[in-house]
Structure 1
Amino acid sequence: MNLSITLRDRRTYKEYAGLFMIKTGACIVVALFLASLGYICYHGAGTLSPSFLSSFPEKMMEEGGILPCIIGTAILSVGAMAVALPLGIACAVWLNEYAKEGPLKKLITLAVANLAGVPSIVFGLFGLAFFVTVCDLGVSAIAGILTLAVLTLPIVINTVRETLSQIPNSWRESSLALGASKTQTVLRTVLPAALPGILTGAILGLARAAGETSAIMFTAAVVSTTNLPNSPFAAVMSLPYHIYVLATTGMNPDKAVPIQCATALVLLMTVFALNLMAFYIRQKSSKRPA
């Protein structure tokens, strides 16, 4: 009896200790996030204004706004998704609906998983070596778009595959039983049902592309410009690279920090809005009756 109580007490203590460590870790993460957000808001909120969002950098980026950074980030992110989304959907559909179990499917699945874990700086070096040099695209928006498309491809593939795997097989069987072909079943039954997941993957890919610095610093980004890009072969400014430049060019901190923080605040709000949209779509689709 006493031994049983002792063992139960030990388990209880271990549970409390584990729970305490988990809560402490969570509190530390939240505190760090709030501290970072508070610092950015404190230093950047005063600089953030309509003119800051709609004007060009001036006086060696110590004044002016971030309009070309916003436009450049939008071009790179949307362009990357325009390339990665159809390729990712096609790959996910083939892996989930057509590919038979075997070495080839395992190899592609392993390649996608490994690609998702590759550091973004490696994608940047690949883009520099292949798109900029071999393909002779130069440092340009199109080179950055293709590099970001490769970077975001695993996100799209994994998200779409997860969605496709959650669609009941009875839907496919019912479609085939009614005389539809495999392709018709995929196009008219499976993909429409997977649309929320596809949208989620696209939005998450957009958010990832918008926040990338290393992948574009060698392929697409320019320090400063006085014109908006008028060609896919023109270099562009971007929000994350602009923050990096402001932090490393040796500017007067009194002038650089407010612009850095205001730019970071715009980037954070953009990424947060995209992630919130993806979360909303996923939550809404999960409540939909099967």
Structure 2
Amino acid sequence: MQFRFDKEALMRRIQVVILLVVIPIAAVLFLTAMSPSPDPKKNTDTVTRPGSELPIFDTHVHYKKEAWTLFSPKEVLELFKRSGVTKALVSSSPDEGTRMLYKLAPDMIVPFLRPYHDDVNSSNWFKKQSILDYFKKRLELPIYKGIGEFHIHNEIDADSPVILETLRLAVKEDLYIHVHTGHEAVEAMFKHEPKIKVLWAHAGMSDPPQVVSAMFDRYKNLWVDISIRENDIAPGGVLSPEWKALFLKHPDRITVGSDTWVNSRWQEYEEIIKFDRGWLAQLPSDVARKIAYDNAGRLFGNGDSGKR
């Protein structure tokens, strides 16, 4: 069988291939070459969640003696930096832990004076008259913004003469009180000394957000840190409607805290802050920023924005 070469048919096929394949590919390559290259310095993520990159002012940190061998002061500061924490309110048992951190980073650390040292602890500090002399002696170093965190176990203990004198000292020296207690004892404290300024640890620990809201309505000099309440605030990572309602109603009264009261909290620190960022991201951006940093910055950090 003799094969006949049809030159004209071949040329027609080549033209079809050029029209259908080569020209479109060339056009795509040309348009790609003409498109501007992305700027690596420019953030192209236009849907960044509002709480994910905020600076954090941690208002509940303890650098207790038990942690000194786990993390050196320098390592604590590095941990803050990795976590995006730009300021920290620190009180320690004993107070030397706070001073060690403050010495290395006075612009980052906001010292509070905790009563616990030697044989003075959460169960007996308010029974020891000597604690008042301890406060006055330590306060001679003018670095402290407040007294606490200390515990009041019930409203009856809030009537202790030592606690009453502590409240008067705080008012006289224009210091905040950082207290771990329920709402009944907070009410008793304000009854004894209406001019006190209170940072209420753990938002009451077990008090529901409705009670916290009512306390805010009643006392203008009351703020909270939300440490240890993470699972109440955002069970499974989803912001509770009740807590969200509190945050939206009182956005200027809430602060973020971690509470490194045991070494395991230091070991989990980055995850704690990451979890807090998760529920902050579920709030309007202006509310998230107030809670993450601005409220504490206004109260304890000379009003700066937290940017570094």
Give the TM-score taking structure 1 as reference length: 0.26
Higher relative contact order (CA 8 A, sep 6+): 1
Q: Which has the higher strand share?
A: 2
Q: Which has the higher helix share?
A: 1
Give the TM-score taking structure 2 as reference length: 0.25
